[in-house]
Amino acid sequence: MIVLGVVGAMGSGKTLVLEMFGVLGAATIRADDLSRELLIPDSAITRQVRAEFGDEYFDSGGNLLRGKLAAAIFTSESARSRLNAIMYPAMVSLLEGKLCEIGRCSHKPVMVAVEAANLHEMGGARLVDHVLRVTAPSQVRLRRIQARDELSVDEAQKRLDSHIAAGMDASPANYELNSDKPVAQLQEDVQRLYRVLVGCAVET
């Protein structure tokens, strides 16, 4: 079983590429889903976040106000670092557990694709065999972020700048795909890479 990390800055097209690998038969894991699993009401991680940032970031049911916290961390490097110090070790541990679980399956997939913009930053690169960086021109990424998150140009730019400052648009990678192309053409690129990686897995 080969594990592929899918990295790239916000709005680069990582999720679309991940879905394409899933259609081809790869198991898929998203870092966003890991964080949501960790941040259920009254979990140990949620309690740590609450203690660090305060009750104002939670609703009456104990649910994290993700949008409000995101706004805080994208405008404050200190807030971002404090949150990452809590989340990253837990996310890597959870990811490792999920990969082990998939590896024990009687019908385990040939490939697992892990989408995580911050794969290197959080220390998860040791868990993957290869890394694919997904790219797109900055203006394309900006438009995607605005449309997806319903943000103003300034808000979207701040989030994009935060990823760039963290080096997420230039993370070390073995492969690179530009997602700014027709979907059919991108699918062909993903299929081609999948065949290469599956071939590597079979050979080993």
Residue whose pair of structure tokens reads 């590597």 in the numeric block: 200
Quick check: 116 pLDDT over 60? Answer: yes
CB 6 within 8 A of CB 116: yes
Domain 2-31+92-203: which CATH class? alpha beta
Tokens of 7: 């990295």
Phi-psi region of 62 (alpha: psi -120 to 50; beta: other; left: phi over 0): left
Question: Helix 66-73 crosses helix 153-165 at what angle (to 10 degrees)?
Answer: 60
Least confident of 3-12, 17-26, 195-204: 195-204
* pLDDT classification of 172: cutoffs 50, 70, 90: confident
In this prediction, residue 56 carries a pLDDT of 95
Mean pLDDT of the 18-28 span: 97
d(CA 160, CA 67): 15
In this prediction, residue 9 carries a pLDDT of 87
d(CA 119, CA 7): 7
